[in-house]
Amino acid sequence: MGSAELKHQIEEEIKRTEALVTEYKEMSQPVSPDDAIGRISRMDAINNKSVTEAALRQAENKLASLKSVISNIDSPDFGICVSCKQPIPIGRILIRPESQRCVNCAR
Residue 99 near residue 89, CB atoms below 8 Å: no
What is the distance between the alpha carbons of residues 48 and 18, in angstroms, rounded to a whole number? 21
Residue 80 near residue 88, CB atoms below 8 Å: yes
Per DSSP, helices labelled H in the chain are 3-27, 39-71, 90-95, 103-106
What does the pLDDT read at residue 34?
63
What does the pLDDT read at residue 55?
94
Q: Which residues of the chain, if any, have pLDDT below 70?
A: 1, 31-39
Predicted TM-score (pTM) of this structure: 0.73
What is the distance between the alpha carbons of residues 107 and 104, in angstroms, rounded to a whole number? 6
**Residue spans per domain, the chain:** 3-75
